[in-house]
Amino acid sequence: MNETILWPVLEEHLDEAEFLFERREAALDAPDYVLSELEAGPEARLRAHVDGLVVGGPAVVEQLLLPVLHDPDKVHGSVVAAALACSAGGREGIAAVLRAIDEGEAEREDHWGAMALALGRSEDPQLQSMLLDSLATAPAHGVAARLTALTALGVPLGPGLLAHLHSPDLCVLRAAASQAGLYLDQALLQVLGPLAQAEDPELRRRTLDAALCHQVPGAWEAIRYWALSPDPTPADPSIPPALLTEITASPTRRHAMTRVALLGNADAHDQLLALLEHEPLRADVLWAAGFCGRVAAVDAAVSLLADEHLGPLAGEVVCAIAGLAPDAEGYWLPRPLDDNPDEALPSFEADDLEADLDTEPEDALPLPNPEAISAWWAANRANFDPGLRHLQGRVFDHQALLAAMHDGPLRRRHALAFEVAVRSGGRHHVDTRGPVPRQRAQLQALGSAPLIYQRGLPGR
């Protein structure tokens, strides 16, 4: 059998699957990709190469894929690609991935986390029962991996989640906190409060998101405080010491500001926009402001269009709220590199070979033409009610939300999906990083459950 396998072809399938997984991940946070482009591009090509590996059968699993799964030094994308191919091979392949997770090094979360991510993207109907049935006997990091995959699949663990929220292992606590967004009962309420004050920032963020989904008392006040309050001082006894160095400019504050934009009322949004006065916070405030939907946010963004660094983010706010197309002719300028790429390249002697060449999603934002966009907004501002939220040029209602989820920039859909989860009381979740067919099914279910997006939580 092995003699008939074209190993160079299979190795190329694995290399291409790794590359396309990374392309797909980048597209998920890109401002210039929409769902249909993701489906027809990186996702379809990734699926084709995974299928090419599956066709090889057990010999390919044993000789090509399992060595990757059991090597903690393999790069993230390669591990995901191998795990995707294994889990697409049915029950035996899924079991092989679970064994690789459990036998792996607990401290190498980057490695077993890649396999958990792949399981969460699997569409095998046997996966759910296999995850649940093996949960009790798995090591701590294996429990975290299974909880992560179950959350991605939208499968709530139920009452058994409570024990994992008391785990001494941070990886289990993080995964269980994310699971709590899918399931909550009165017994969990008392657990989420202390976890929301944990020293680990990621655990705090996940816990507060779960608490917001279920309207747990105090969750909104905590998010609002971390987003909008002045810098705390050690003299304030109400602030845990772990938060004192984080509340100024950090992922925690950016996360909290985005939640305030999604869920706050007009007063909360005004307080958010007032933070633009603080220069170190402006980029994060602009990102969040695009979700508040307010005329005042567009006004503030227009005033920053000419800023060399903030201009593209400000232009994104205009598009997200007022609906200006990011490719509308006459409103955007070519990037400097577009004019003469050769002039932008350093000489060999001057080139820093150790420089970080990774790009950020913001690098793909179009460069605004400040005068043209300002004139466009002046001509169109009267069409927008300052008392209402707007999304992509429309009053923010359920149909506008569905349109944005189907056709809006991928990088903005993650936050909108969180708003759906909160406004539905945790009943509706859209896995914006999952396979497109799963997303479309979740959006179809969401279409029959209209939600209200104009009501907001108080700013004070």
Q: Tell me the pLDDT tens digit for each residue of 220-267.
A: 999 999 898 865 544 455 555 555 444 466 888 999 999 999 999 999
398 found inside a domain? yes
Q: Per-residue confidence at 298, pLDDT binned at 50, 70, 90?
A: very high
| Residue with the larger pLDDT of the pair 363 and 338 | 363
Question: What pLDDT, on the 0 to 100 scale, is given for residue 272?
Answer: 97
Question: What pLDDT, on the 0 to 100 scale, is given for residue 237?
Answer: 54
136-150, 392-406, 444-458: least confidently modelled range: 444-458
Rounded-to-integer distance, Cα 289 and Cα 432, Å: 21
Residue 431, domain extent: 251-347+361-447
Question: What pLDDT, on the 0 to 100 scale, is given for residue 335?
Answer: 82
333 found inside a domain? yes
Which one-letter DSSP state was computed for residue 367?
E
146 shares its domain with 259: no
Separation in Å, CA 429 to CA 81, 145, 325, 408, 443: 25, 20, 28, 17, 9
Judged by phi (left if over 0) then psi (alpha if -120 to 50, else beta), residue 141 lies in alpha
Question: What pLDDT, on the 0 to 100 scale, is given for residue 10?
Answer: 93
Mean pLDDT for the stretch of residues 407-419: 98
| pLDDT greater than 80 at residue 387 | yes
Q: 333 forms bridges with which residues in the sheet?
A: 367
Judged by phi (left if over 0) then psi (alpha if -120 to 50, else beta), residue 392 lies in left
- Are the C-beta atoms of residues 272 and 264 closer than 8 Å to each other? yes
Mean pLDDT for the stretch of residues 297-319: 98
196 found inside a domain? no
Taking each helix axis from N to C terminus, what angle separates 91-103 and 140-153, rounded to the nearest 10 degrees? 140
Separation in Å, CA 298 to CA 62, 95, 295, 304: 56, 52, 5, 10
Question: What pLDDT, on the 0 to 100 scale, is given for residue 185?
Answer: 81
Q: Per-residue confidence at 348, pLDDT binned at 50, 70, 90?
A: very low
Rounded-to-integer distance, Cα 35 and Cα 406, Å: 6
| pLDDT greater than 70 at residue 426 | yes
218 found inside a domain? no
Separation in Å, CA 110 to CA 77, 90, 96: 10, 24, 18
Q: Per-residue confidence at 380, pLDDT binned at 50, 70, 90?
A: very high
143 shares its domain with 261: no
The amino acid at residue 240 is P
Q: Which helix (H) or strand (E) holds 108?
A: none
Residue range 357-372, pLDDT digits in tens: 468 899 999 999 999 9
Question: What pLDDT, on the 0 to 100 scale, is given for residue 229?
Answer: 81
| Residue with the larger pLDDT of the pair 189 and 302 | 302
Mean pLDDT score of the chain: 90
80 found inside a domain? yes
Mean pLDDT for the stretch of residues 23-39: 97
| pLDDT greater than 70 at residue 352 | no
Q: Encoding tokens for residue 112?
A: 């077993």
Largest CA distance in the chain: 73
Q: Per-residue confidence at 341, pLDDT binned at 50, 70, 90?
A: very low
Alpha carbon of residue 384 to chain centroid: 29
Mean pLDDT for the stretch of residues 328-350: 64
The amino acid at residue 394 is R
201 found inside a domain? no
Rounded-to-integer distance, Cα 74 and Cα 71, Å: 6
290 found inside a domain? yes
Overall pTM > 0.85:
yes
140 shares its domain with 257: no
Q: Per-residue confidence at 450, pLDDT binned at 50, 70, 90?
A: confident
121-130, 194-203, 223-232, 406-415: least confidently modelled range: 223-232
Question: What pLDDT, on the 0 to 100 scale, is given for residue 188?
Answer: 83
284 shares its domain with 379: yes
Determine phi and psi for 74, rounding to 5 degrees: -70, 145
Residue range 70-119, pLDDT digits in tens: 999 999 999 999 999 999 989 999 999 999 999 999 999 999 999 999 99
| pLDDT greater than 70 at residue 394 | yes
Q: Which helix (H) or strand (E) holds 379?
A: helix 370-380
- Are the C-beta atoms of residues 102 and 136 closer than 8 Å to each other? no
186-201 burial string, b = 16+ CB within 10 Å, else e?
Answer: eebeebbeebbebeee
| pLDDT greater than 60 at residue 345 | no
Question: What pLDDT, on the 0 to 100 scale, is given for residue 249?
Answer: 64
- Give me the number of domains the chain comprises: 2
Alpha carbon of residue 420 to chain centroid: 14
129 shares its domain with 255: no
43 shares its domain with 146: yes
Q: What is the DSSP string of 159-209?
A: GGHHHHTT-S-HHHHHHHHHHTTT---HHHHHHHHHHTT-S-HHHHHHHHH
Rounded-to-integer distance, Cα 276 and Cα 295, Å: 15
| pLDDT greater than 60 at residue 181 | yes
35-44, 55-64, 429-438: least confidently modelled range: 55-64
224 found inside a domain? no
175 shares its domain with 290: no
The amino acid at residue 14 is L
Separation in Å, CA 234 to CA 93, 127, 238, 243, 244: 53, 49, 9, 10, 7
Q: How many CA atoms lie within 13 A of 81 on its CB side?
A: 34
Rounded-to-integer distance, Cα 206 and Cα 196, Å: 8
- Are the C-beta atoms of residues 119 and 83 closer than 8 Å to each other? yes
172 shares its domain with 269: no
The amino acid at residue 290 is G
172 shares its domain with 271: no
Rounded-to-integer distance, Cα 252 and Cα 268, Å: 18
261 shares its domain with 384: yes
302 shares its domain with 399: yes
Residue range 184-218, pLDDT digits in tens: 787 888 889 889 889 999 999 999 999 999 888 89
% helix / strand / coil in the chain, to the nearest 5?
60, 0, 35
- 72's CB contacts (< 8 A; 6+ apart) are 104, 105, 108, 111
Above pLDDT 70, what percent of the chain? 90
Question: What pLDDT, on the 0 to 100 scale, is given for residue 246?
Answer: 44
Question: What pLDDT, on the 0 to 100 scale, is given for residue 184?
Answer: 78
Residue range 309-325, pLDDT digits in tens: 999 999 999 999 999 99
Rounded-to-integer distance, Cα 144 and Cα 204, Å: 16
295 shares its domain with 170: no
